[in-house]
Each structure stands twice: as C-alpha cells, then as structure tokens.
Structure 1
Amino acid sequence: MRMNAKMLFRIAVIAGAVTYVAYWFLPYTYGYLDTFTGSLLSYGGHDAVFVGPELFHNVIFVAWLVAAVGLLLFRKLARSLFLILVVTTMALSPLYGLSVETAGGATLISIANMADGVVLALAYFSPVKNEFY
C-alpha cells in the first residue's frame, strides 16, 4: 500500500499529539525514580530567564491539543495556531534555562518535535495544503 501525503499528515499529527501528551504526564512517574535521579531532575530550569506561570504552560498544552484536533479536521485556523505554537515555543526555549531529562522524556520530546516538523512541512509545502478550509 502506497501512503499518500494526507495519510502521512494524519499519522504525523497523531504521533506528535500522543508523544506530547505522554511527555506532559511523564513527571507523574518521577516518584518511581531513585533519589539521585530525582535530585538531578530538580535542576531543570536552573538559570532560566523566563519562568512562565503554570497556567501559561497549561494553556500552551491545551492549545496544542486543540490545534492537533483542528489539523486532523484540516482547519486553516488550526494550521496557523500550530505554526504560532511551534515558533513561540522554539523562540522561548533558550530562555527556559538548563534542561534535564530522563532518557524516556528526551525520546518523547524528540519524536514530538520531529512529528511537528513533518506536520508543518506537509501542511505548507505539499498537496495537503489544499485540503485546509
């Protein structure tokens, strides 16, 4: 079976959303880590220039999920929202300070970031761009 761009787009959106949700809830598993690893993870955010309130991060998370649903429905507004979210989080990323991740967390966020790239490439530079309304 040959995969078309529309199917690949949907797979990338779902893969990105699933890994992003898994990454979001990953800290709830930290209680099972040994004390030393837990103390190392506490250094995440050290020397941050921008420390957004928890509400800010929650709004970004919900907006990301809303954008993902909209992308699956091929809504132009969702495509624009997704682009804004990717650019905003990339722009703020250097301001968040030291990043300390578990191997699982690093893997999940890497997959999510790659999926985001595929989604943006297909949404703007492939025949999929004509599906949005």
Structure 2
Amino acid sequence: MPGIKALVGLSFTGAIGLTFLFVGCAVTQYGVYWPVFAMFFYALSPVPILLANRSSDDSDNSSNVCKDLVYFLTTGIVISAYGYHIVLANCGLIEWGPCSLVLTGDTIIFFTIFGFFHVFGSGEEFSWEE
C-alpha cells in the first residue's frame, strides 16, 4: 500500500507542475505557446537513467564511467529545459511572467521525476507484482 500512496502523490505533483506550464502558456495576456515544447525535455530526462539501469550490472559499487556519463547527460537535459525558457524570455518571444510560471513548473516536474526514481528505482522495498 505505501507504493500506491507514493504513486498518487507523485501523480498529483506532476499534475501541479503541468498546470504551471499550461497556465504560463494559456494566460490571455501573454498568449504564447512556445514554452509547451519543454515537454520534450520532460520526456527525455529519464531516458539516460533508464537505459543505464537496464544495461548495467550492480556488482561494482564504485563509481564507473557509465554512471558518470548518465548523470552528466541527465544534468545537461535538465539545465537545457531551464535555459530554453530563459532564452525565450531574453529574446522577447515570451515575457518574464510566463517564464517564471514555466520555470516553477519545470522545478516541480523535475523533482517529481526524481521522486519517482527515488521511490520506485530500487526494487528492494517495492514490487510491481504485489
């Protein structure tokens, strides 16, 4: 049952983050939908970690090159998501009001993705077969 509560909580925080993203785009005062393309970054951010977890063996506990490369790529994707909105605001394509809303949504969504990997990443205390 604790897995279900965590899943519901993570779903709720993900919905709040997406609400900030959509509000930043849909406010009639601004009316620019460029920030929606950040959803590509949301979809790309867990991919390197998922691929590394799938192909690595857990027998070596020391820091290896594959883990470091995965963390570097994931960090690059997350920083690019933040930088994307800041560049849009700097170029004048969006105003700073929706930029702040979308940056808040970015923060919430990336913490939700991190929370998902923290709760469900180690298969010791939770199993999908239950």
Normalising by structure 2, what TM-score?
0.45
Normalising by structure 1, what TM-score?
0.45
